């Protein structure tokens, strides 16, 4: 306590007695000095006393990368509903190309004195993206939870689907159907979930005695248009099946097949990822790897509320790799990553390799 008093007093330029009066919510301190002391607490990384958290009452920032992929609105509905049930109001922050940046949203949320932030996707998953704004969250010890794999340097509580297991399930399924030229349609090369899928694919190919040549791997954006363009390249390279890193990419691949005069699944097979809404209603219904978003959403709420209540262990760099969905009830250390097991959902877009 004395160390904290001394550091804050030096930062603000007041006596330790003045800092003590602010921390104990005693009178006799000007509003300007009181605010300066509270700001110094945040900047130095100390928790404000509970009774002085004031504006950090019942607001939680909910940051989405975009709304075109149905999996993000579905996750937002689950997490937002959980926040509401626990007495918090979600502030929805949606990123669009050329719109407000993630860094700007962080500044806005800090100004609003939110109780915490949940990111459903963002720069933390891309190695080459800017990451400075996460330091601002760490400086003030703001409760933060990330959804989807992150770079190692950003040690916030993270809830992810096991991307390696997802790739392995899809590739083994296609291999069992007789496919040997299996293409990968992934997100950007610096995107951690796609890196994990690619790493797992290389291991599975080697184990199955197949070769994953460069022409069977295409990186692009997570959009239907990018999926169509990338799949056209893979079909031209002789791929008879494609494993996609999202459902929109898979729908783009189906479109590319039709434009090339190929039938799905008679000529080529396509596997998606997410099992977002309406994938059972496409033509053909999409075989995909399901993310367990209900369990993941509940765990996000548990982790965030535990941080807000101050009951999580100190942040660390350890990863709970391979944690099954049954682990959703435990509270992890603030820097842990909890991995949830995906599920291959078989529908009509995959079939035996053409003879």
Q: Determine the pLDDT at residue 315.
A: 45
Q: Distance between CA atoms of 293 and 278, rounded to whole angstroms?
A: 15
Q: What is the pTM of this model?
A: 0.80
Least confidently predicted of 13-17, 123-127, 132-136: 13-17
Contacts of residue 121, defined as CB under 8 A and 6 or more positions apart, other chains included, come to 63, 64, 65, 66, 72, 147, 148
CB-side neighbour CA atoms (13 Å) of 118:
32
Residue 223 DSSP class: S
Contacts of residue 221, defined as CB under 8 A and 6 or more positions apart, other chains included, come to 187, 188
Cβ atoms < 10 Å from Cβ of 31 = 7
pLDDT digits 0-9 by tens, 43-78 = 777 777 766 555 455 899 999 987 788 999 999 999
| Residue-range domains of the chain with CATH | 2-52 (1.10.260.40), 59-161+293-340 (3.40.50.2300), 163-291 (3.40.50.2300)
Contact present, 182 and 216 (Cβ < 8 Å): yes
Q: Distance between CA atoms of 3 and 39, rounded to whole angstroms?
A: 17
pLDDT digits 0-9 by tens, 81-121 = 999 898 888 999 998 767 788 999 999 999 888 999 999 99
Tokens of 36: 């300066």
Cα of 28 vs its chain's centroid, Å: 46
**What's the pLDDT band for 182 if we cut at 50, 70, 90?**
very high
| pLDDT above 70 coverage of the chain, percent | 90
With 0-12 CB in 10 A as exposed, 13-18 as middle and 19+ as buried, what is 41?
A: buried
Contact present, 154 and 165 (Cβ < 8 Å): no
Residue 332 DSSP class: P
Cis amide prior to 106 (ω within 30 degrees): no
What region does 289 belong to: left with phi over 0, alpha with psi -120 to 50, or beta? beta
């Amino acid at each position: 306590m004395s160390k904290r008093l001394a550091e804050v007093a030096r930062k603000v330029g007041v006596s330790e007695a003045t800092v003590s009066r602010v921390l104990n919510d005693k009178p006799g301190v000007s509003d300007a000095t009181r605010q300066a002391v509270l700001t110094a607490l945040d900047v130095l990384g100390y928790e404000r006393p509970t009774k002085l958290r004031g504006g950090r009452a019942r607001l939680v920032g909910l940051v989405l990368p975009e709304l075109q992929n149905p999996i993000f609105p579905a996750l937002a509905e689950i997490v937002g509903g959980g926040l509401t049930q626990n007495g918090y109001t979600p502030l929805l922050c949606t990123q669009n190309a050329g719109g407000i940046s993630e860094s700007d949203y962080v500044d806005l949320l800090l100004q609003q004195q939110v109780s915490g932030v949940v990111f459903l996707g963002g720069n933390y998953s891309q190695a080459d993206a800017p990451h400075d704004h996460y330091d601002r969250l760490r400086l003030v010890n703001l409760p933060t939870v990330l959804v989807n794999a992150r770079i190692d340097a950003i040690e916030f509580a993270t809830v992810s689907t096991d991307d390696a297991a997802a790739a392995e399930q899809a590739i083994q399924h296609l291999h069992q159907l007789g496919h040997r030229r299996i293409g990968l349609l992934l997100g950007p090369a610096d995107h951690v979930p796609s890196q994990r899928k690619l790493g797992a694919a290389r291991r599975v190919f080697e184990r199955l005695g197949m070769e994953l040549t460069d022409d069977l791997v295409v990186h692009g954006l997570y959009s239907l248009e990018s999926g169509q363009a990338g799949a056209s390249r893979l079909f031209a390279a002789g791929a008879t099946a494609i494993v996609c890193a999202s459902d929109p990419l898979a729908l783009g691949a189906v479109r590319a097949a039709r434009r090339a005069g190929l039938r799905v699944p008679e000529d080529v097979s396509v596997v998606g990822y997410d099992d977002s809404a309406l994938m059972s209603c496409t033509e053909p219904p999409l075989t995909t790897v399901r993310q367990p978003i209900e369990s993941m959403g509940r765990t996000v709420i548990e982790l965030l509320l535990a941080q807000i209540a101050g009951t999580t262990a100190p942040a660390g760099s350890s990863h709970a790799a391979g944690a099954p969905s049954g682990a959703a009830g435990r509270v992890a250390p603030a820097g842990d990553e909890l991995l949830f097991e995906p599920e291959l959902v078989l529908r009509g877009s995959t079939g035996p390799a053409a003879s």
